[in-house]
Amino acid sequence: MTISSGAIGVFDSGVGGLSVLHHIRQALPNQCLIYVADSAHVPYGGKSPDYIGQRSHTLTRFLIERGADAIVIACNTATAAAATGLRSQFGIPIVGMEPAVKPAVAATQSGVVGVLATIGTLESARFAALLDKYAGEIEIVTQGCPGLVEQVERGELSGARTRELIERYTAPLLARGADILILGCTHYPFLAPLIREVVGANITLVDTGAAVAHQLQRRIHSELPHRLQGEASAQFFTSGDAEQAARIMSLLWSGNVAVRQLPQAFL
């Protein structure tokens, strides 16, 4: 297999990080992208920080071996569990995710912000620190969303079961008066059209993918200026079933993609 030179490596517990990859492609159109969906281990939300840290280290090592000189952790849960450790071990730009609490707090009119996220993200020390830093007098109501990641992994973006879960998880936040909902998992932007149907047009949905892409763009401009121009390409890998991954990723990427399974050493 061809090894890429000067690529941007992106990984997530599954296919959700493709929502971030879309923003990266828009911000950096002339870059080689390598995406890994760790779908054999999805979801990360219910797993221990040590387990997530181990998988994150393994995937980062794979991406660097493939030629990545910048890494995006396209997963809130993995960022909380592993970003600090990865930055201490690898001397390249590593950009992570975090729920967009700061802009949501600044924008709310009702004084109540809702957060939809995985249990792993909501229970992390990193998220607790984020709340302490930005909440102030604003009420932030959190809601764990078991099952939503799995719906996206199956490509079930608009069915009855997905709608039922969204109705269940958004209802308590709306009842508390939230006028902004933070999509605190990279899988959730793919559900945004259905969430919008459920919650109505007056509720603002906040996704952090664009902010992450802009942060990556800044890091590359300042730290890797030698490769601001390159050859646009994208490679896709999975730790799960490659055929199933190709079907779902093609749906979410809005174009046919070929997906290869990770080498055995990285499974």
Q: Which of the residues are catalytic?
A: 75, 185
- Rounded CA separation 235/32 (Å): 8
Query: Which residues are CB-contacts of 226 (< 8 A; sequence separation ≥ 6)?
Result: none
**∠ Cα 83 247 214 (to 5°):** 35
- Rounded CA separation 127/181 (Å): 16
**Which of the 8 DSSP states describes residue 131?**
H
8 A C-beta contact, residue 96 and residue 79 = yes
**Which of the 8 DSSP states describes residue 146?**
T
- Rounded CA separation 189/181 (Å): 11
- CA-based end-to-end distance of the chain: 18
- Reported residue count of the chain is 267
8 A C-beta contact, residue 83 and residue 39 = no
